Homo-oligomer: A and B are copies of this chain.
């Protein structure tokens, strides 16, 4: 009884934690755009305007890339917390650390877009992704533990989630190393991160056969 009531209250707390996390993800992902500034070409000809928009392409590309990176982090968070039934209060602070890495992304994304062929900004961007990915892996390991999981969550699903959370740190290392020689194009592997995550997501659906309690 006291148990049931406690659980219900804990459910609400879990909901509020995921809610707060969603809000931070949503704000960080939407703030990416405010780093793209409206151009003011000197001549008001069509050619000058088209050139001004062409000059913004690195910013557009950076916006799209970082949108999908934060989107992938959110989708992973969404999936992981969807496996939880109860609320482990000790997850609050690791989760805040993850949100801090996400909230920092508008800065590192803007740094990378503004100086899209410089070695240090590109490596710094890859480094922040590496940190975000590793923190997420840590949160996954902390969150997906026995007493807090939904009944239908199998060991396979947990192992899958852990492995999958290593996709982004790996891609970030590749991008960071490539940035030493080819800053700019070095970000191309990151484009594949969501694809990698989706591939894993597909793989996940396969084994819903054995259900452990």
Binding site for B on A (CB under 8 A): 2, 5-6, 9, 12-13, 15-20, 22-36, 38-40, 44, 46, 49-50, 53, 63-64, 67-68, 71, 74-75, 78, 82, 89, 92-93, 96, 99-100, 103-104, 106-107, 110-111, 114-115, 118-121, 124, 150-152, 194, 198, 201, 205, 211
Contacts and interface: CB of A to CB of B under 8 A. Distances in A.
Contacts of A9: 82, 150, 152
Contact of A71 (B46, B75, B96): B96
B38 A107 contact: yes
Contacts of A89: 201, 205
Contacts of A120: 46, 49-50, 53
Given A34-B34, A38-B107, A67-B96, 10 more contacts: A5-B151, A16-B82, A20-B22, A23-B23, A28-B33, A29-B103, A38-B115, A49-B118, A53-B120, A67-B103
A29 B34 contact: no
Contacts of A46: 119-120
Contact of A16 (B18, B44, B205): B18
Contacts of A150: 5, 9
Contacts of A103: 29-30, 32-33, 67
Q: What does DSSP make chain A's interface, helix, strand, loop or mixed? A: helix
Contact of A29 (B2, B24, B152, B211): B24
Contact of A121 (B13, B49, B92, B99): B49
Nearest to A23: B26
Contacts of A67: 96, 100, 103
